[in-house]
Structure 1
Amino acid sequence: MHVAVGSTNPVKIEAVERTLERFDPTVTAAAVDSGVPEQPWSVAETADGAETRARRALDATDADYGVGLEGGVARFEGVPGLSLIMWAAVTDGNRTERGSGPTLRLPDSVARRLEDGAELGPVMDDLLGTNGIAESEGAAGVLTDGLTDRKRALGEAVACAFGPFRTTHYRS
């Protein structure tokens, strides 16, 4: 199975490799644009970015599947604060499936900076005195004290988006 990931971020690539490892995939990174802002601000925008990445990755390669991963932020009715969200999309060119990863409330100080126009990765780097947190444990790892990390969280989204291609339960 050949899978193209719509990103060159090593965390996204490893999330796909780790999640699909039992299928022994060949995973190719494809540098594609998400078609959404650097900091998506809703479920719709984040899922759209993942879908665009998946389609463009498939189109740019000879892979069997294109996978797109996108992180964003959103507010949910009845849930306090601003939440970090993660979405994946998988396409074989005929069909596209979507799945989300964990949702995590962001600290108010981080949320305020995002509301002022900043992007999560650089805000977290500034807060932690790091560089490239989005290519390592991510905000998910830092904000859960390692109970999860960006790779695992994105992997859950990949599993949920890829599952319908692997089981017969979604066939009409």
Structure 2
Amino acid sequence: MHHVICATTNPAKIKAILHAFELIFGEASCHMESVVVETGVPEQPFGSEETRAGARIRVQNARALKPEADFWVAIEAGIDEGSTFSWVVIERGDKRGEARSATLPLPKAVLKKVEQGEPLGPVMSALTGIDEIGRKEGAIGVFTAGALTRSSVYHQAVVLSLSPFHHALYD
């Protein structure tokens, strides 16, 4: 059984991580543990590099906190070129897998508030009345009428990030 450290307590992120690991390694193949760690970036990162740095720092801090684990996983959401997206970083031993999620273009009214310094989650919660929307379906769920959710979009990026850990061509 793999011991997986999720560098988050966000249920949408944890769900994506769990489903991806079960898809790749089999149902009940992993023991997930959630930890709170610092990201080293602002609450609302801007740009691909700052967002990826946040995910990498989360993994680094999770490894320092729980060095006995088999995998460390982080998902950092950000804003880039008017869209929201995330970076997923997974480490095991000396290997790292990284993938960027799909992007969701944001309406100008939302983007304006975010660019003025408000994080996307609270902006979306205020506009929709959905408390802690970032821990649920997220802006993605709202703007796709539920066809996609924050977790479903993260899931794909987690699966892609796991590629170096289960395919022989990466060795």
User: What range describes the TM-score normalised by the shorter chain of this pair?
Assistant: over 0.9
Corresponding residue for residue 114 of structure 1:
114
Corresponding residue for residue 80 of structure 2:
74
Which portions of structure 1, spanning 4 or more consecutive aligned residues, are displaced by more than 2 angstroms?
Answer: none
Instruction: Report if the CA contact (8 A) 2:4-2:33 is conserved.
Output: yes
In structure 1, the gaps of 5 or more residues are 76-81
Distance in 1 of aligned mates of 2:93 and 2:169: 20
C-alpha displacement at 1:93, in angstroms? 3.9
In structure 2, the gaps of 5 or more residues are none
* SS of match in other structure, 1:155: helix
Corresponding residue for residue 101 of structure 2:
101
Corresponding residue for residue 44 of structure 1:
49
- Correspondences of 1:1-172 after superposition (within 5 Å): 1-22=2-23, 23=25, 24-61=29-66, 62-75=68-81, 82-171=82-171
Corresponding residue for residue 78 of structure 1:
none
* SS of match in other structure, 1:3: strand
* SS of match in other structure, 2:162: helix
What fraction of aligned residue pairs are identical, expressed as a percent?
36
C-alpha displacement at 1:156, in angstroms? 1.2
Q: TM-score by structure 2 length?
A: 0.92
* SS of match in other structure, 2:39: coil
Which region of structure 1 is more displaced relative to structure 2, 162-171 or 106-115? 162-171
C-alpha displacement at 1:19, in angstroms? 1.0
Question: Counterpart amino acid of 1:13?
Answer: I
